[in-house]
Structure 1
Amino acid sequence: MSLEPFSHSEALTLGVELELQLVNTNDYDLAPYAEDMLRLMHKQTLPGSVVPEMTSSMIEISTDICHSWLEAREQLGQIRDALVKSADKLNIAIVGGGTHPFQQWHERRIYDKQRFRELSELYGYLSKQFTIFGQHVHIGCPGANEALLMLHRMSRYIPHFIALSASSPYVQGQDTAFDSARLNSVFAFPLSGRAPFALTWGEFDAYFGKMARTGVVKSMKDFYWDIRPKPEFGTIEIRVFDTPLTVERAAALAGYVQSLAAWFLAEQPFVPDEDDYLVYTYNRFQACRFGLDAVYVDPQSGEHMPLREHILHTMDRIARHVQTHGATGALALLRDSVERDHNDARWLRERQRQEQLLGEVVRQAAGRFRGEAVLRAAADAP
């Protein structure tokens, strides 16, 4: 079995996918309403798509191909508004965040789809524990070799993406002490982690062929890597983001990815090296555990620095490309949260300290997702 050819795509185009929670409006626990939501959503003409996910209390939305974060924000906003109206008809709510704060995994139901049934048979209880919620960002690449270069360059910034999107501090009613506990569930899968260090499509195709001959994989979908190539789309797909609490933040994160990719293509700022991965797992852990308070280890110099400083320094370096691609607003939103040391995980913890009731925290998060002005203003307050 060989890998499919790398399709043509327009460089630096974007696609955004968001996995979202369906909760009841009684105690705000997860609710198995995916089939009903999909039935209502499929009656509407919208950009992108709405599809089922592993368990019946979650759905995935995605944009069409976008050229800017503003276009992605507009499409996500349209889908969000339609979701909220459909949810209101069902007396349920839609929530962002990387984990549901208090759901019990054993109560989940696998969605009735062949691939999900097969994964459940293979992975057992891990499939139900995979009721976690992430954002995926696709970035168009001019060619297959360029995609692999982009993938390995982007790997240095995985801690940025984790810390900026972190929104999963609670699991089964407990504060995990992680800003992003969601990724601990991903790491349990045997084909998670990082992609192999290949810089040409020929090398990568040979690797895939060896893996396919073992019978372990059949397609790229079987790899749960932090970043993976998507040859059918002509993109790379970054998969470490927690789902943010708002679609606006999700779009801003996509704008950051696009700006980094533009910098890579225009300036070729460094050559990826296998040694980049010496501290990869450590940096990723730091970002999951401490969020914006993490330590970042430079893979080349070995210098230790606060992750927030590395993020701000990177934003300064790519400023020209941010402006060129119309992402100034996206980076301003993210920079402000870095300077205030405030991500979605912090917001959730602040709400819980105030309310002392995770159900109420989820209710307020549902309000934030739908864009209620009062809650949005409260969330943005220092």
Structure 2
Amino acid sequence: MSALGAPAAGGTVGVEEEFHLVDPDSGALTGSPEVAAEALAGAAGELVKAEIVTSQLETGTVVCRDLGELRAGILAARSAAAAAAARGGLALLPASTHPFGSWRDQELTPDERYRDIVDRWALLALQQDICGCHVHVGVPDLDTAVAVMDRSRPYLPVLLALTGSSPFHGGRDTGYESFRTQWWTRWPNAGAPERIGDGAAFRALVEGLVASGVVKDATHLYWDVRPSVRWPTLEFRLGDVCTLVDDAVLFAALVRSLVRVLAGRAAREEPVPDVRPELMRAARWRAARHGLDGELFDPVARRLVPAGQAVAALLAELEEDLRSHREWSEVRELLTGLQRRGTSAARQRRVLARTGDSRAVVAAVVQEGRAG
């Protein structure tokens, strides 16, 4: 992403997406050292970056200020990545896991940064065969970022439930809507952060983690939400890759609205919800397991609620903000569309049930991504 200037919380938004590369004929997970080298050198354009393995690419939008700009930004970034993939004879798979590929099919991108990651985390880094969606929302300062992050924790599971696109892993149906979440949880620097307090406490925490050797610096915090050290943003990293652009816009719009609402509560010094980390892990697990199908766990009320009810409760909390920013109608329409067709994970399973062929799942996801 380009540098962000954010005079107020939620003034700007940007999206980073990661994609697998596949052979367009066989659907197989396929790396390309040439495509990776082009991205590393910046020859694929400023919107496209290399990733840890040569069978992935990352995109980042320009800084956006409204949902129209955001949609255009996502489309432009995906188009640039698709063009880079096509130059290597490959296609983008906009899903967080490949239906039948394996981490053993991957090749490390030859770059010092990625070699350092493998040196630090060993096999965990080499098994990184998952992709994510990261939403950056502008914030004025670190104290605001931490205050919003602390208050966002109870909302993370329902946001995750909207994005599931990783039902398959290693050629098997995992039973999860977001198996990426479970695979990622193995890392010592991943998951939902506990309540921190303020910017000074965050800096002290990072110093402790650096001293432990778990991370090199704050860029290695792979929490579900974290203050960015590169931009004046709060970065939500919990989402699976949204196959459809509509769903990516919806996810980013909800995250941005939540930041605006929670920043207002922080400014009014409203209390931070006190949620045990064990309950947060339970709520996160349930969202990854069931997505929008069934019940989610409310970690504040400590009870199961139908997923539709949990989504409606989130929307009710954001309605005033969305209306005041003239985003309500679009968000409602996008959400209705998602609930009607189901998540990418649900659609992938329907394709497999109909065809019995994992290659057909790849083809369907690739086509959905191209259609936008």
CA contact (8 A) 1:38 1:50 kept: no
Query: Which residue is 1:211 aligned to?
Result: 209
Query: Which residue is 2:15 aligned to?
Result: 16
Alpha-carbon separation, structure 2, partners of 1:337 and 1:34: 36
Is 2:27 the partner of 1:28?
Answer: yes
Query: Which residue is 1:378 aligned to?
Result: none
Query: Which residue is 1:290 aligned to?
Result: 290
State the AA in 2 paired with 1:36. Answer: V
Structure-2 change in CA distance of 1:143 and 1:295 (3 Å): same
Number of aligned positions between the proteins: 363
Is 2:86 the partner of 1:93?
Answer: no
Query: Which residue is 1:191 aligned to?
Result: 189
Alpha-carbon separation, structure 1, partners of 2:294 and 2:157: 9
Deviation track 1:186-209 (CA, whole Å, cap 9, x = no partner) reads 111112123242211112222222
Alpha-carbon separation, structure 2, partners of 1:238 and 1:90: 31
Deviation track 1:267-305 (CA, whole Å, cap 9, x = no partner) reads 559522443534100000000001112533333332331
Aligned-pair CA distance for 1:119: 1.6
Q: Which aligned pairs between 1:263-274 and structure 2 lie closer than 5 A?
A: 263-267=261-265, 271-274=271-274
State the AA in 2 paired with 1:180. Answer: S
State the AA in 1 paired with 2:116. Answer: E
Q: Which aligned pairs between 1:170-189 and structure 2 lie closer than 5 A?
A: 170-189=168-187
Alpha-carbon separation, structure 2, partners of 1:349 and 1:257: 27
Q: Match of 1:165, SS?
A: coil
Query: Which residue is 1:126 aligned to?
Result: 124
**TM-score after normalising by structure 1:** 0.88
CA contact (8 A) 1:140 1:235 kept: yes
Structure-2 change in CA distance of 1:104 and 1:212 (3 Å): closer
Note the residue ranges of structure 2 that are not aligned, 5 or more in a row.
Answer: none
The two structures, once aligned, show a CA RMSD in angstroms of: 2.3
**TM-score after normalising by structure 2:** 0.90
Which deviates more, 244-253 or 284-293? 244-253
Query: Which residue is 1:139 aligned to?
Result: 137
Please point out which of 201, 209, 224 is paired with 2:199. 201
Which deviates more, 327-336 or 171-180? 327-336
Which deviates more, 33-42 or 272-281? 33-42
Alpha-carbon separation, structure 2, partners of 1:323 and 1:66: 19
Deviation track 1:31-52 (CA, whole Å, cap 9, x = no partner) reads 112632663895566xx52111
Query: Which residue is 2:38 aligned to?
Result: 39
Is 2:362 the partner of 1:362?
Answer: yes
Q: Match of 2:292, SS?
A: helix
CA contact (8 A) 2:283 2:298 kept: no
State the AA in 1 paired with 2:361. Answer: V
Alpha-carbon separation, structure 2, partners of 1:110 and 1:153: 37
Deviation track 1:197-223 (CA, whole Å, cap 9, x = no partner) reads 221111222222223333433211222
State the AA in 2 paired with 1:9. Answer: A
CA contact (8 A) 1:283 1:295 kept: no
Alpha-carbon separation, structure 2, partners of 1:348 and 1:215: 39
Deviation track 1:296-340 (CA, whole Å, cap 9, x = no partner) reads 3333332331232011122123112113334331342124323x3
CA contact (8 A) 1:275 1:300 kept: yes
CA contact (8 A) 1:69 1:251 kept: yes
Structure-2 change in CA distance of 1:84 and 1:202 (3 Å): closer
Please point out which of 154, 157, 160 is paired with 2:155. 157
Q: Match of 1:82, SS?
A: helix
State the AA in 2 paired with 1:334. Answer: L
Aligned-pair CA distance for 1:356: 1.0
Query: Which residue is 2:312 aligned to?
Result: 312
Of all paired residues, the percent bearing the same amino acid is 26
CA contact (8 A) 1:34 1:58 kept: no
Aligned-pair CA distance for 1:247: 2.6
Query: Which residue is 1:371 aligned to?
Result: 371
CA contact (8 A) 1:24 1:91 kept: yes
State the AA in 2 paired with 1:369. Answer: G
Q: Match of 1:279, SS?
A: helix
State the AA in 2 paired with 1:231. Answer: V
Deviation track 1:247-272 (CA, whole Å, cap 9, x = no partner) reads 33212210111111222233559522
Q: Match of 1:22, SS?
A: strand
Q: List 4+ stretches of structure 1 deviating above 6 A.
A: none
Q: Match of 2:202, SS?
A: helix
Alpha-carbon separation, structure 2, partners of 1:89 and 1:145: 44
State the AA in 1 paired with 2:338. Answer: S
State the AA in 2 paired with 1:139. Answer: V
Q: Match of 1:286, SS?
A: helix
State the AA in 1 paired with 2:17. Answer: L
Aligned-pair CA distance for 1:109: 0.5
Deviation track 1:157-187 (CA, whole Å, cap 9, x = no partner) reads 1112211110000111111110000111111
Aligned-pair CA distance for 1:125: 2.6
CA contact (8 A) 1:129 1:185 kept: no
Structure-2 change in CA distance of 1:368 and 1:322 (3 Å): same
Alpha-carbon separation, structure 1, partners of 2:15 and 2:158: 17
